[in-house]
Amino acid sequence: MKQYSLVDDIGTLHTFNKVPQRIISLVPSQTELLVDLGLESKIVGITKFCIHPKELKANKAIVGGTKKVDYNKIKALAPDIVICNKEENTLEIVENLREIVPVWVTDIITIEDNLKMINDFGILFDCVGEANQWNSNLTFALSDFKKFIESKPIRKVAYFIWKNPYMVAGSGNFIDELLQFNRFENVYDNQSRYPEIELEKINENGNLDFVFLSSEPYPFKEKDALEMQDFCGQAKIILVDGEMFSWHGSRLLKALNYFKELHQKL
């Protein structure tokens, strides 16, 4: 393959003389996508949070987490490329890794961003056919879900990601995009990213229909829902699968089926 160039999501131009063969992924959802694109054999390093597919951690080098990595271990693995994400990984990690290896950074806020990432990976890793198939399947499933959801009423929700302090999903992130896609009105979308909130003031945003407690990054449980009940008025508190709302990549296909099941339970 001749030399080729691509620009990542933060505007960095990458030029390759050959297709990267040794990949380190520092983003769990993107690790899953790489596997689904048929690239598992090329992955040499992952994070301790890369839990899908579940057998991967037994077969690949663990180079740290998403916020702290072992640079010496990464260097020793001699990667051709490291895959990062603007939200998941720190700027410090990206800048330090650039001294060692090309770093591809994604920035996924919208569903269109997600489709573009899959397309980019197809070009980047010479698996265009697999990427096109995934995007074709996703486009069909997204269209099908739009038909499913169009008759549903718009309902007000608050989506919690953390406790002590309580933090919720605001605007400008993939969670908010998927909430909107589900016709859930995020009552905190007037605040950016992941604001801290006071639970006592939750009903200042109008009458909530639902409070979603995510399974990640904080693993909310039934006891947390019971603790919050007195503050949430008539809102129904529901434990939701955080991977389905926050993992971009190929996970979106499973998420659309999960969302259908969720709506049928509401």
The span from the CA of 202 to the CA of 76, in Å, is 49
CATH number of the domain at 4-140, please?
3.40.50.1980
pLDDT in tens, 99-108: 999 999 999 9
What is the full per-residue pLDDT of the chain (266 aa) written as tens digits? 679 999 999 999 999 999 999 999 999 999 999 999 999 999 999 999 999 998 998 999 999 999 999 999 999 999 999 999 999 999 999 999 999 999 999 999 999 999 999 999 999 999 999 999 999 999 999 999 999 999 999 999 999 999 999 999 999 999 999 999 999 999 999 999 999 999 988 887 678 999 999 999 999 999 999 999 989 888 999 999 999 999 999 999 999 999 999 999 98
CATH 3.40.50.1980 segments of the chain: 4-140, 152-265
Q: Which residues contact 114 (CB under 8 A, 6 or more apart)?
A: 108, 138, 174, 248, 249, 252
In one-letter notation, the amino acid at residue 64 is: G
Residue among 46, 34, 104 nearest 74 (CA): 46
Q: What are 13's strand-pairing partners? A: 7
What is the per-residue pLDDT for 1? Answer: 63
Superfamily of domain 152-265 in CATH is: Nitrogenase molybdenum iron protein domain (3.40.50.1980)
* H or E element, residue 105: strand 103-106
| Burial call 236-249: b when 16+ CB within 10 Å, e when fewer | ebeebbbbbbbbbb
Q: What are 159's strand-pairing partners? A: 212
Q: In terms of residues, how long is the chain? A: 266
Q: Which residues contact 204 (CB under 8 A, 6 or more apart)?
A: none
